[in-house]
Structure 1
Amino acid sequence: MEYETDGKSRRSRWFGKRSTGLDFAGMTPEQTHQAITSLMVSDMLKERRSDRRWRAVRRVITALFLLAGIGVYLATLFYEPKTGPLLKDADGYLGVVRITGAIKNSSNASAEKVVPALNEAFADPKVKAVVLSIDSPGGAPVEAERINFAVGELKKRHKKPVYAVIQNIGASAGYMIAMHTDKIYAGRYSLVGSIGAALQTWDVHEALNKRDVRHQVYASGDLKNMLNPFSPPSEAAGRKAQELVDNAGGQFFAEFKERRGSKLKEGVAYDTGEVWSGEQALKLGLVDETGTIEQLAYANNANVKEFKPGSRAILPAFTMEAASAWLSSVIANAMHGVAEASPVAFR
């Protein structure tokens, strides 16, 4: 610290009469030094008190942000937000049950997961109609059969209409479920149809032969090993496989004609496995109207309430744990498909 003197008084560049309230005139150098030291200590104490106050304020603010973050996270776990339009004068809900992805016993579109959601939606007194939101390329016919049975029984018990809204795709077993509702909607760009059945398996015996690897099976009958991917298919196995898919596809087509017969067009081959756009499907009688869940909600003056499985929540869309689980399931399914015969599926 530097002092400037004029012979009569000493003044500090930092401390003066105006800022400190002290007059250093007439003080000895020792007194001036003591006064300045006292002022510096006092100023340091004030700064420390101010720092402590700001640290306390920062801690409180940080704690509030952490509590708010925890609150938002907990809300995402237990709160199911409504989606779709929010109508001011709406007097009820459309209860949406999502059937998304392949319809099989290990997916969210399985009967084990969809049927409980249907029970909740039908039982909710505020739900005025149940909507099946379908976005599926197809899958196992027995899973679709179970879901269809549940829909039929719940309609009788609760006397509520059931609609199907096809999102991006409602094909094969996905469309079979839609057929069992009171009305089918589809977007103009949706893909609809694929009426038929398919039986899939791998044939890798040539690849094994190149590696000089042989797979030996002892079976009790000629067709017991018919879909083994490690053995060359026989003519009898091919005939049997075709018989299975023809039978399943024929049942599907007969049910389709029974459910949609009055709306179908003459001369159209509906059983080729073809898919159509939503607008084409409307003209051909596969759907009743083009529209989305939002349009359906406005038409019924209702908000949308979703039921699990597949209900939307504000959760991180991607995590390493989710990615790892997804990759593991893909590998496991691929290996399972190689090792075992695939069941008949509506695809």
Structure 2
Amino acid sequence: MRMRYMILVLILVTAWGCAPKLKLFSSATDPLAEYTLQGEGDAKIVLVNVNGFLQDQPSKGLLRSKPGAVQELVSQLRRAAKDEAVKAVVVKINSPGGTTTASDIIYRELMKHREKTGQAVVALMMDVAASGGYYTALAADTIIAHPTTLTGSVGVIFVRPKVVGLMDKIGVDVEVSKSGEDKDMGSPFSPATEKERKLFQDIIDDMAARFYAVVRERRQPTEQAFATIRTARVFTAAQAKQLGLVDKIGYMDDAFAEARKLAKVDEARVVAYRRDQYPDDNPYNTMSAAEPGKASLLNVEAGHLLPPKAGFYYLWNPGW
């Protein structure tokens, strides 16, 4: 019995040494490497992805974490900036937005990259590029929406969970001592006063004004179009083009063609920066690090199971 056990262990060890290494968690600490996705030539177009909820904090799951959207984007832009063969960047966006700060940082980093390197930037919208996702796209030289994209939602939402009603039902109270009358404004343990609502609305209006200013500067909509845009509704690709929010409606190949045109090159390789190599890689792959063994427990992001964190967001989330 002991001998059979040892033989089994030996077989497993040998098989493991010959088999591809299985990574149970994202290899977020591995360095980025360049992989060609399609095309030929010395010139390069870098494809970067901006996906999901935009935040500057790592995305934490039950058993793993991965870099936040800001960290991932900046890492890839810095690598692209060091490569003289890179002539353009295509930013593929599939995001409903996120925190006001993360959205603004991503926009600024893309603007800085354009100004510093002279590389053209093309934004390609996928399913959703709304609110902070659209804010990101505003940094591009050209914005292309997929025919089925939803975009817009130009505005701010302030989210603050309230538990005061529940506390009344279960007979629990919270006593607060404070240094100033507005120190606990927005507390989930007490109903909002009219003064608090006014103070928060002032903050919301100020942050919305920043978003509006960027839209006006980068897109220069007519006053009639801007009046519709500032309702903060979402638009189809066709509606967005009519309002001047996007330049073109097209597909990924159209985005690469636009990047070549802006960069004034006839041929260019489309490359991506990954931490892992993928067999049969292509531009529709949105991951930079492998996450095999898609067991649901390992891949559920705990934040999606909880009530939204209080804060100000450039975000469109009809699930709330």
TM > 0.5 fold call: yes
The sequence identity of aligned pairs, in percent, is 25
Aligned to 1:98: 49
Q: Which has the higher strand share?
A: 2
Higher normalized helix content (fraction of residues): 1
Secondary structure in 2 matching 1:322: helix
1:70 correspondence with 2:36: no
1:305 aligned to which of 249, 271, 276: 271
CA contact 2:155–2:314 (8 Å) conserved in 1: yes
For these two proteins, the number of residue pairs brought into alignment is 275
Query: What TM-score do the two structures reach when normalised by structure 2?
Result: 0.75
Note the alpha carbon deviations across 1:165-187, whole angstroms, 9 max, x for none.
Answer: 11111111111121111111110
Q: 1:109 to 1:66 in 2, by over 3 A?
A: closer
Quote the Cα distance in structure 2 between the aligned partners of 1:159 and 1:272.
35
Q: Which sections of structure 1, spanning at least 5 residues, go unmatched?
A: 1-58
Task: Give the whole-Å Cα distance in 2 for the aligned partners of 1:70 and 1:266.
Answer: 55
C-alpha deviation, 1:308, in angstroms: 5.5
The answer on whether the counterparts of 2:90 and 2:255 sit within 8 Å (CA) in structure 1 is no
Query: Structure 2: which amino acid aligns with 1:346?
Result: Y
Distance 2:124 2:222 in 1: 18
Range with greater deviation from structure 2 (152-161 or 239-248): 152-161
Deviation at 1:122, TM superposition (A): 2.6
* Equivalences for residues 239-250 of structure 1 within 5 A: 239-250=198-209
Shift of 1:137: 0.7
1:169 and 1:192 in contact (8 A); partners too: yes
Change (3 A) 1:251 1:328: closer
Aligned match of 2:79:
120
What amino acid is the match of 1:245? Answer: I
Determine the structure 1 residue equivalent to 2:63.
none
The answer to whether the Cα contact below 8 Å between 2:22 and 2:292 also exists between their aligned partners in 1 is no
Matched, 1:179 2:138: yes
The higher relative CO (CA closer than 8 Å, separation ≥ 6) is in: 2
Residues 194 and 217 of structure 1, relative CA distance in 2, 3 Å threshold: same
> Could you list the per-position Cα deviations for residues 19-72 of structure 1 after superposition, in whole angstroms to 9, with x for gaps in the alignment?
xxxxxxxxxxxxxxxxxxxxxxxxxxxxxxxxxxxxxxxx99x96x75552379
Which one is further off, 263-272 or 125-134? 263-272
Q: CA RMSD in A?
A: 3.1
CA contact (8 A) 1:167 1:187 kept: yes
Q: Which residue of 1 aligns with 2:314?
A: 346
**Cα distance 1:161–1:263, how it changes in 2: closer, same or farther (>3 A)?**
farther
Q: TM-score, normalised by structure 1?
A: 0.69
Check whether the contact 2:274–2:289 (CA below 8 A) recurs between aligned residues. Answer: no
Mark the CA change 1:207 to 1:134 in structure 2 (over 3 Å): closer, same or farther: same
Contact 1:265 1:285 in 2 (8 A): no
